[in-house]
Structure 1
Amino acid sequence: MPVAKRRTNLERSSTTRAGLLASAREAFVTRGYADTSTPDLAEAAGVTRGALYHHFADKQALFRAVIEAEAAAVAAEIEAAPSSGSPIAALVAGGEAYLQAMAAPGRTRLLLIDAPSVLGGEEVDAIDGRNGVRTLREGLQAAAEAGALRPVPIEQTAQLLGAAYDRAALALAGGGDRTDWLAALRGMIEGLALPR
């Protein structure tokens, strides 16, 4: 008779942490940060409050971890976007992938509405700088190195384009016309290209 393998403390801890993150994401999307208590979060994850506090210092730390995971998921979807063609076409494809990633239920609210009010703009900018804006920065740098980009400051252009894509994501979450927003964003990106 086979013996069941016992899980290690690290495996149990990872499972508990993952369960807390998934439950917290759902609660923050459904009720919002302010209306979600730590007892709610512990109950939803099926753990004690002590277990919650073992993994996260407080509700804000758990929220920050959810935001970090969401931002990383968005960056991963951008990086997975097919990028055949020119560096400018790759930037356009990455932008479309961003908007697709932001269409995940609750993601726009978490990243663009709740996160700035809970964590503050500076911290949210830092998280975005390691994720979505980083992908823009890298795409712009690749386009510049390929000689496809007008001479623009890379960091500031990445920040401005990131803000434009965030605005589009908010508009789309509110029912805006995807085709029109994509056309406007494509025009912005293509306007940065050097004439051929």
Structure 2
Amino acid sequence: MVVVARRRAQMMEETRAKLIRAARKAFAAKGYAGASMDDLTAEAGLTRGALYHNFGDKKGLLQAVIDQIDAEMLARMRTAQERAGTAWLGFLAESIAYIEMALEPEIQRIMLLDGPAVLGDPSQWPNQNACLRTTTQTIQTLIDEGTVRPVDAEAAARLLNGAALNASLWIAAAGNPHTVFTKAVEAFQYLAAGLLQKEG
């Protein structure tokens, strides 16, 4: 009985993975609106019933794709942060890595253009709340060690996270994303530097 249940769970996981993979490819290539449910399920070798059973609807499938991309983005941001020499430089590197990912066509289209249009304000997505908690903890640590001025850590985190998110949305919608990226990163660094304790 346990073996049957385990096999069923494994098959469900494989079905979900196939649908997410097909949806990610379709959403990146054609956009959410242009991706047909029939083409998507055919690409995965599954039925529309499998899609409804696993994700409820197309919107639920988009959420699953966004969750997967978001987890990959977080891992990349963590890597950028770990390579930096200090906690402050790590914080900046992580933020800039996030903004830079807005240059990638898949992230632009799925996370920054279609995601907000279909799922609403990205600052209200569950993953943003987790990101906000992490940023608040990082800023509190930087305050405690004397690197950052004694401001309210949550307020600073909300403002900086908002600046990074808006920079990414601006880049994704821009006619010349690379030019906007350069401007956005320079301004973000100046904004963030305002939190630093002054020497002497």
Normalising by structure 1, we get a TM-score of 0.82
1:87-166 → structure 2 map (5 Å cutoff) = 87-121=87-121, 124-131=124-131, 133-166=132-165
Structure 1 residues 21 and 58: alpha-carbon distance in aligned structure 2, compared to 1, 3 A threshold: same
Where 2:34 maps in the other structure, the secondary structure is: coil
- Map of 2:194 onto structure 1: 191
Q: Which residue, out of 160, 180, 184, partners 1:181?
A: 184
The offset of 1:42, in angstroms, is 0.8
Structure 1 residues 151 and 124: alpha-carbon distance in aligned structure 2, compared to 1, 3 A threshold: same
The offset of 1:123, in angstroms, is 7.5
The offset of 1:83, in angstroms, is 4.5
The offset of 1:32, in angstroms, is 2.0
Distance 2:143 2:188 in 1: 19
Normalising by structure 2, we get a TM-score of 0.81
The offset of 1:20, in angstroms, is 0.9
Q: Say which structure, 1 or 2, has more relative contact order (CA 8 Å, 6+ apart).
A: 1
Distance 2:26 2:119 in 1: 17
The offset of 1:63, in angstroms, is 0.9
Runs of 5+ consecutive residues of structure 2 not aligned to the other structure: 1-5
- Map of 2:51 onto structure 1: 52
Q: Percent identity?
A: 34
Where 1:148 maps in the other structure, the secondary structure is: coil
- Map of 1:3 onto structure 2: none
How many residue pairs match? The answer is 189
Structure with more helix by fraction = 2
Greater mean deviation of Cα atoms: 164-173 or 68-77: 164-173
The offset of 1:193, in angstroms, is 0.8
What do residues 32-57 of structure 1 show as CA deviations (whole Å, max 9, x unaligned)? 22232322321122211122222111
Which consecutive aligned stretches of 4+ in structure 1 deviate over 6 angstroms post-superposition? none
Distance 2:17 2:151 in 1: 41
Runs of 5+ consecutive residues of structure 1 not aligned to the other structure: 1-6
1:20-31 → structure 2 map (5 Å cutoff) = 20-31=19-30
Structure 1 residues 125 and 80: alpha-carbon distance in aligned structure 2, compared to 1, 3 A threshold: same
Distance 1:108 1:155 in 2: 27
Where 1:176 maps in the other structure, the secondary structure is: helix
Greater mean deviation of Cα atoms: 65-74 or 163-172: 163-172
CA contact (8 A) 1:88 1:189 kept: no
